[in-house]
């Protein structure tokens, strides 16, 4: 076994909220690992069980390329890796010993997988009544629960792709929004269960699901129909609530998003750019007036602003406190001055030894962002320490870590 590789983070002013909490996770891809990452970032000891033996090489996410290349390093920091063959009696016994010491078990495998292994909630509750068990699924119990779900599947069936794309051209959102939020809601369920356990002394089962998460995101549009009787139009075709809330093409083919969302802001905008004629135009006095007259107002504004550079427009909007945004590609955020200055990025060491910046949780506690204690683990990196803690001898640890036909952990 190799020594744990850590990442230096700022020293918190008080103990992490979930320091001392032990979480055992059986997860892969994004949704389940996100739940564990949130709890780990908040101080929990999260132990990732990775399958070896029978041709398995740990979490398959480790080998993904293309758009999946960031999955493992992003969602598995602050965790320990315990690599075991759960299809052996010895591997199963080791993980049951570990669960007996745990507060939380998290999983996101297909229905029936954990039951087949004897690691479902009903089985583990008998072993550890205080255990909180969180399952991350495609659907909560109901007519759809037998279906196999992916983020894109529920975006299509849950209205998000319809709302994101142009009419007749449904388009998935540009990130794993339901996987990530579904994992966050799973963590929220764990937090609620921990509070409940303080009252009852007992654990409980938590379920979080992709489809229901997506429906929650669509709830404002569902409620719009319930209130008005009018179906929501896709975002590119919607009747905007604001007179100016658009992407503008400007000098050198650059683009910038500009917004003017109140009557006071409209006056500031007109004065900043010398548009006295528009400020005086009775057809544009209120925001609703400007919404009604967008068909001629927007082409006029686009023509007047086209000669400006995006940089100069941003400067004017920032000077006058008006909302604006450059059109930024994800990789450009690695050099964002605000993220760098505010501590939103923290270095980690990748399993192959390279360094990379990681994005921290998007909130502060006592003025600090929850930091990174451990870089994403190498496969089986913590086998020796964890198994020794459970009472295994050096020879037993060797046998558990190197099953016949298995993979040798790093």
- pLDDT tens for the chain, 410 residues long, are 334 455 444 445 578 999 999 999 999 999 999 999 999 999 999 999 999 998 888 999 999 999 999 999 999 999 999 999 999 999 999 999 999 999 999 999 988 899 999 999 999 999 999 999 999 999 999 999 999 999 999 999 999 999 999 999 999 999 999 999 999 999 999 999 999 999 999 999 999 999 999 999 999 999 999 999 999 999 988 878 899 999 999 999 999 999 999 999 999 999 999 999 999 999 999 999 999 999 999 999 999 999 999 999 999 999 999 999 999 999 999 999 999 999 999 999 998 899 999 999 999 999 999 999 999 999 999 999 999 999 999 999 999 999 765 555 55
Location of structure tokens 């590609």 = 329
C-alpha pair distances (Å), 178 with each of 19, 232, 342, 377: 28, 21, 27, 25
Decide if 167 contacts 232 (C-beta within 8 A). no
Q: Can you tell me the distance from the alpha carbon of 193 to that of 199, in angstroms, rounded to the nearest whole number?
A: 10
Decide if 170 contacts 237 (C-beta within 8 A). no
Instruction: Enumerate helices (H) and strands (E) in the chain, giving the number of each.
Output: 17, 12
Q: Can you tell me the distance from the alpha carbon of 116 to that of 32, in angstroms, rounded to the nearest whole number?
A: 19
Location of structure tokens 């389940």 = 32
Decide if 85 contacts 406 (C-beta within 8 A). yes
Alpha helices by DSSP H, 201-309: 210-228, 263-273, 276-280, 287-292, 294-305
The domain segmentation of the chain, as residue ranges, is 22-218+343-401, 240-330
The predicted pLDDT at position 299 comes to 97
For residues 214-242, b (16+ Cβ closer than 10 Å) or e, as one string? bbebbeebeeeeeeeeeebebeeeeebeb
> CATH homologous superfamily for 240-330?
formyl-coa transferase, domain 3 (3.30.1540.10)
Decide if 308 contacts 302 (C-beta within 8 A). no
Of 47, 46, 28, which Cα lies nearest the Cα of 38? 46
The predicted pLDDT at position 383 comes to 98
Decide if 211 contacts 139 (C-beta within 8 A). yes
Same fold, 22-218+343-401 and 240-330: no
Q: Can you tell me the distance from the alpha carbon of 306 to that of 300, in angstroms, rounded to the nearest whole number?
A: 10
The predicted pLDDT at position 54 comes to 84
> CATH homologous superfamily for 22-218+343-401?
Crotonobetainyl-coa:carnitine coa-transferase; domain 1 (3.40.50.10540)
């Amino acid at each position: 076994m190799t020594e744990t590789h850590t990442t230096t983070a700022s020293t918190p002013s008080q103990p992490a909220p979930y320091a001392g909490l032990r979480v055992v996770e059986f997860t892969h891809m994004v949704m389940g690992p996100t739940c564990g990452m949130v709890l780990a970032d908040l101080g929990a000891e999260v132990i990732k069980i990775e399958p070896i033996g029978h041709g398995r090489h740990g979490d398959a996410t480790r080998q993904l390329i293309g758009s999946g290349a960031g999955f493992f390093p992003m969602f598995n920091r602050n965790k320990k890796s315990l690599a075991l063959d759960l299809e052996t009696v010895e591997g199963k016994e080791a993980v049951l010993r570990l669960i007996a010491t745990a507060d939380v078990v998290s999983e996101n495998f297909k229905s029936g997988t954990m039951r087949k292994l004897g690691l479902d909630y009903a089985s583990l509750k008998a072993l550890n009544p205080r255990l909180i068990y969180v399952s991350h699924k495609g659907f909560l119990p109901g007519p759809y629960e037998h279906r196999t779900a992916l983020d894109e599947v529920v975006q299509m069936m849950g209205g998000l792709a319809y709302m994101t794309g142009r009419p007749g051209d449904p388009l998935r959102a540009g990130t794993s929004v339901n996987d990530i939020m579904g994992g966050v809601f799973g963590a929220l369920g764990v937090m609620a269960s921990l509070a409940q356990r303080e009252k009852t002394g007992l654990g409980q089962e938590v379920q979080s699901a992709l489809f229901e998460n997506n429906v929650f995101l669509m709830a404002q549009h569902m409620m719009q129909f319930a209130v008005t009787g009018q179906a929501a139009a896709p975002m590119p075709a919607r009747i905007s609530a604001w007179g100016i809330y658009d992407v503008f093409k400007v000098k050198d083919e650059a683009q910038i998003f500009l917004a003017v969302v109140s009557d006071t802001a409209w006056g500031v905008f007109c004065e900043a750019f010398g548009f006295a004629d528009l400020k005086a135009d009775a057809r544009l006095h209120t925001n609703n007036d400007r919404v009604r007259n967008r068909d001629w107002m927007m082409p006029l504004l686009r023509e007047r602003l086209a000669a400006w550079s995006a940089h100069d427009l941003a400067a004017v909007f920032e000077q006058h406190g008006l909302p604006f945004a450059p059109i930024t590609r994800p990789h450009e955020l690695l050099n964002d001055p605000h993220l760098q200055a505010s501590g939103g990025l923290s270095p980690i060491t990748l399993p192959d030894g390279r360094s990379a910046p990681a994005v921290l949780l998007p909130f502060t506690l006592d003025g600090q962002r929850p930091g990174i204690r451990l870089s994403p683990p190498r496969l089986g990196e913590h086998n020796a320490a964890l198994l020794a803690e459970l009472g295994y001898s050096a020879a037993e640890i060797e046998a558990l870590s190197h099953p016949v036909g298995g993979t040798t952990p790093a």
